[in-house]
C-alpha cells in the first residue's frame, strides 16, 4: 500500500518484488523511481523534491519502461480482479522487461514492440501469450497517454499475431469410463471424478474447502478459486464472474468418492504430523497446502498415456462434462448454471453445435400440439382406406 506524504512530497510504496517505488510530481507530471532499500528510495524522493522546489524542470524522459509499468501495476490492482492483475504482472516480468527493462518510456516505438513480438514468435512463444503481451502494452500505454507522459500509444500501430482458438476436445462416455477406471486408486481420483461430474474450472476445483460441502444436502458451494500464482497464506480469489459463485447438487456416487477421499486425507494428515498445514482444502498436497497446478498436469498426462486415450488438456474435462449433460437432454439453462456461465447464450455459443440434431422429433411434436384431435382422427381414417399396391 502506498504511503502518502505531505502535499507535493510524493508517495512511496513497496512492490511485490520487495523493492520500493517512489513518485514525485511536477507540473502535473508524475516521476517514478525504484530502489532496493527503503532508505535509498526516501533519499531519492527528498533530493527530487528539492530539485523541483528549486525550479528545476524534471523531464519525464527519465522514466524507464520498467518504472512506468511498476507504477501502472499498482493502479491496476485496485481496478481489476486479482487473477487478472497477477497475469499482467507475470507477463511483464517474464516477457517484456527482460528485453526492454532499460528502455525509456518516451523512446518506446511501434517498431520496438513489433520486434519484441517477432522475437517471441521465433522463440516458440505461443501466439496466445503474445496476444496477452499486446493487451498489456495497449492498456498500459493508453494510460500513459491520458497521464500526458507520452503523446501517442505506439501499440496502436502494432498487430498481435493471429490466434486460432484450438479445436474443442472431449471424451465420449466409453472414454470417460475407461479414464475413470484407470484413475481408480490414484491420489487425484476424486478430482477427476468431481471434474467430470460438475465441469468446474481447474482453479475452482482446487480452491474448494470442506466447509463448502454440505453432506446432508449433497450441495457444494463454489465461492472462491485458487490463484494461479499463489503465495504462502494467500491462496484464494473471487470467482471469475458473479455467476461463478454458485451451488451445485452432487450425485450419490460423487459424494461417495469424496467420502473416500476425506478418509484418505485423514491418513495423510497422520503421516505428515507437524508438517501438515491446515487450510481446510478438499484437495491438497501431501502437507495440506494447495495442489501445484504443474503437479496435477503431470499426473493427468501420465494417466492419459496409461489409459491409451487421446491427449487432451485438463480443461477439456470441463468440456466433457458439458457435452455429456447436453447430449443427454439436460436443459441448456441448467448446464449453464452448473458451469458458472453468466448467460446461457455463452453455453450455447460454445457447445450449441454439439447438441444432437432433434429436428425430426421437434417437427412431429409441434404437429401433435397444433393439430386438432378431430382432424387428426379423420385424417388417420382416410389414410387407412387408401389401397396399397
Cβ proximity of 144 and 105 under 8 Å: yes
φ, ψ dihedrals at 308, nearest 5°: 70, 25
CA angle 125, 126, 127 (to 5 degrees): 115
H or E, element range at 369: helix 359-370
**Long-range contact set of residues 58-63: C-beta below 8 Å, sequence gap at least 24:** 58/24, 58/26, 58/29, 58/31, 60/29, 60/31, 60/105, 60/106, 60/149, 61/104, 61/105, 61/106, 62/31, 62/104, 63/31, 63/32, 63/104, 63/105, 63/106, 63/149
Tens-level pLDDT at each residue, the chain (389 residues): 455 444 456 788 888 788 888 887 766 666 777 888 888 888 877 876 765 665 544 455 578 898 889 888 887 776 666 667 778 888 999 999 999 988 998 889 999 999 999 999 889 888 889 999 999 999 999 988 887 778 899 999 998 877 776 678 999 999 999 999 999 999 999 999 999 999 999 999 999 999 999 999 999 999 988 887 777 767 887 776 777 889 999 999 999 999 999 999 999 999 999 999 999 999 999 999 999 989 999 999 999 999 999 999 999 999 999 999 988 888 999 999 999 998 999 888 888 777 665 556 667 777 777 776 555 555 555 555 545 54
In the chain, domain spans: 3-157, 173-344
Place of cell 493487451: 135
φ, ψ dihedrals at 375, nearest 5°: -65, -40
Q: Which triple of cell numbers denotes residue 203? A: 482453479
pLDDT computed for residue 357 by the predictor: 58
Cβ proximity of 300 and 189 under 8 Å: no
Q: What is the torsion angle, in degrees rounded to the nearest 10, for the CA atoms of residue 222, residue 76, residue 134 and residue 122?
A: -80
Q: Which triple of cell numbers denotes residue 65? A: 519502461
pLDDT computed for residue 386 by the predictor: 47
pLDDT computed for residue 290 by the predictor: 93
Cβ proximity of 198 and 222 under 8 Å: no
pLDDT computed for residue 138 by the predictor: 94
Cross-strand partners of 222: 246
Q: Which residues of 18-36 are buried (b: 16+ CB within 10 A; e: fewer)?
A: eebbbbbbbeeebbbbbbe
Assigned CATH for 3-157: 1.10.150.130
- Does residue 20 come out as left (phi exceeding 0), alpha (psi in the -120 to 50 range) or beta? beta
Among candidate residues 138, 164, 168, the one with its CA nearest the CA of residue 153: 138
Domain 173-344: CATH superfamily, name plus number: Intergrase catalytic core (1.10.443.10)
pLDDT computed for residue 221 by the predictor: 94
Amino acid at each position: 500500500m502506498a504511503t502518502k506524504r505531505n502535499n507535493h512530497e510524493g508517495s512511496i510504496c513497496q512492490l511485490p518484488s520487495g523493492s520500493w517505488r517512489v513518485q514525485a510530481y511536477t507540473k502535473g507530471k508524475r516521476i517514478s523511481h525504484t530502489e532496493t532499500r527503503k532508505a535509498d528510495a526516501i533519499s531519492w524522493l527528498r533530493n527530487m523534491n528539492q530539485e523541483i522546489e528549486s525550479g528545476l524542470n524534471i523531464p519525464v524522459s527519465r522514466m524507464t519502461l520498467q518504472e512506468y509499468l511498476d507504477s501502472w501495476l499498482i493502479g491496476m490492482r485496485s481496478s481489476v480482479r486479482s487473477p487478472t492483475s497477477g497475469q499482467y504482472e507475470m507477463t511483464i516480468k517474464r516477457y517484456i522487461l527482460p528485453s526492454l527493462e532499460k528502455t525509456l518510456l518516451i523512446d518506446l516505438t511501434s517498431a520496438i514492440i513489433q520486434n519484441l513480438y517477432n522475437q517471441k514468435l521465433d522463440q516458440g512463444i505461443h501466439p496466445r501469450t503474445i496476444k496477452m503481451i499486446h493487451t498489456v502494452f495497449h492498456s498500459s500505454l493508453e494510460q500513459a497517454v491520458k497521464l500526458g507522459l507520452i503523446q501517442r500509444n505506439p501499440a496502436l500501430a502494432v498487430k498481435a499475431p493471429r490466434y486460432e482458438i484450438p479445436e474443442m476436445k472431449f471424451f465420449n462416455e466409453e472414454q470417460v469410463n475407461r479414464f475413470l477406471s484407470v484413475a481408480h486408486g490414484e491420489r487425484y481420483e476424486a478430482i477427476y471424478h468431481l471434474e467430470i461430474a460438475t465441469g468446474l474450472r481447474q482453479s475452482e476445483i482446487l480452491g474448494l474447502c470442506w466447509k463448502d460441502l454440505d453432506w446432508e444436502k449433497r450441495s457444494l458451494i463454489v465461492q472462491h478459486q485458487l490463484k494461479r500464482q499463489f503465495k504462502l497464506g494467500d491462496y484464494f480469489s473471487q470467482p471469475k464472474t458473479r455467476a461463478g459463485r454458485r451451488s451445485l447438487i452432487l450425485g450419490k456416487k460423487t459424494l461417495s468418492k469424496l467420502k473416500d477421499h476425506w478418509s484418505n486425507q485423514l491418513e495423510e494428515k497422520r503421516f505428515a504430523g507437524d508438517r501438515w498445514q491446515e487450510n481446510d482444502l478438499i484437495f491438497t498436497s501431501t502437507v495440506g497446502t494447495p495442489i501445484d497446478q504443474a503437479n496435477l498436469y503431470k499426473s493427468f498426462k501420465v494417466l492419459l498415456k496409461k489409459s491409451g486415450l487421446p491427449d487432451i488438456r485438463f480443461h477439456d474435462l470441463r468440456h466433457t462434462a458439458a457435452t455429456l449433460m447436453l447430449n443427454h437432454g439436460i436443459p441448456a439453462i441448467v448446464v449453464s448454471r452448473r458451469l458458472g456461465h453468466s448467460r446461457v447464450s455463452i453455453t450455447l455459443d460454445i457447445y450449441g453445435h454439439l447438441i444432437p440434431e432433434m429436428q425430426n422429433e421437434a417437427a412431429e411434436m409441434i404437429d401433435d400440439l397444433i393439430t386438432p384431435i378431430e382432424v387428426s382422427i379423420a385424417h388417420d381414417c382416410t389414410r387407412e382406406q387408401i389401397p396399397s399396391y
